[in-house]
Amino acid sequence: MKKIIIYSDHIVYADGMYRWIINFCRLLSKQYDITIMSKVFDKRLCAELKTYASNVVLNKNDETYDTDILLMNVDLYPFPTNITSEKSYKVVHCNYFGTKTKFDLAGNFLAVSKQAAEGFTKQYGKECEYVESFVTYSNSKRVLRLISCSRIYANKGFERMYDLADLFDIAEVPYLWINFTDIDQHGVTLVSQKKDRRIIHLPAIDHYRLRSYICGSDFLVQLSDGEGYCYAVHEALADGTAVIVTDIDAFKEIIQNGYNGYKVPLDMNPENIPINNINL
């Protein structure tokens, strides 16, 4: 079986180039012994690569490697000097025609599509081989759709929202969480203290549009200190959307865990939050 090394200087983003590596390995791993090599790996991406490639190797400059084919996955970088191969290619992922990109044209180039190869040759006057475009399919994790319509105040559970987001992240549950809210300066300050966009806070919208968002979500989330009634929760339940709420008096009688939603403790103790059940 012939050996292929696919080399990237760093593999830390699940971008298009990374996805090309995954598709390549899934398509050709039975015909080739494929090694993925890099100086830096993101831990989660490395774990995914190991399910498709024969080997995932951290490149060490003091070690030498030999392969039949070397694919340099980023065309702007030089070939690693510690890898020898019978054939080597820089992989062209872009259509460079009309761009001002400049790089070393020494060596062979392999484009990911016919269009990219033609653009490369037009721009630089250098022949470029190409592989036919390919797509492979997998059963990806479904994204959990969460919606809130909560004002941004401590007593409305602002910090608890991010505590719950932390638990989803730890459990590697993909989610899209939108909070429609009338935000004041206090709310702007609280949101600005969060350095990420895991929860998307958007201006409030009219009731009819909001209802369509609630109906299309997996859960409406309301994590208040207390509520008198909470119309949003009752409206979601009436439309068949489950809810995630705090275990407060307003919800004790109407929410049955695992049936129409989940109640979480006010202290957000992760031991008492069935995060994996919520993702079912």
Per-residue pLDDT tens digits for 72-85: 987 677 788 889 99
205 and 180 Cβ atoms separated by less than 8 Å: yes
Percent of the chain with pLDDT over 70: 97
Residues 6 or more apart whose Cβ sits within 8 Å of residue 17: 8, 73, 74, 93
What band does 212 get if pLDDT is binned at 50, 70 and 90? very high
Residues 6 or more apart whose Cβ sits within 8 Å of residue 187: 151, 152, 153, 181, 201
131 is written with which tokens? 């592989």
Stretch (H or E) spanning 249: helix 249-252
Residue 219, beta-bridge partner list: 146, 242
41 is written with which tokens? 């790996």
Stretch (H or E) spanning 185: helix 185-192
Helices H / strands E in the chain, number of each:
9, 13
Per-residue pLDDT tens digits for 4-35: 999 988 888 888 888 889 889 988 988 999 99
Query: Vertex 60, ends 57 and 66: CA angle to 5°?
Result: 65
Per-residue pLDDT tens digits for 84-134: 999 999 999 889 888 888 878 888 999 999 999 999 999 999 999 998 877
What band does 177 get if pLDDT is binned at 50, 70 and 90? very high
Q: Would you say residue 236 has pLDDT above 80?
A: yes
Whose tokens are 């080739």? That residue is 32
Across 182-195, average pLDDT: 77
What is the distance in angstroms between the CA of the first residue and the CA of the last residue of the chain? 41
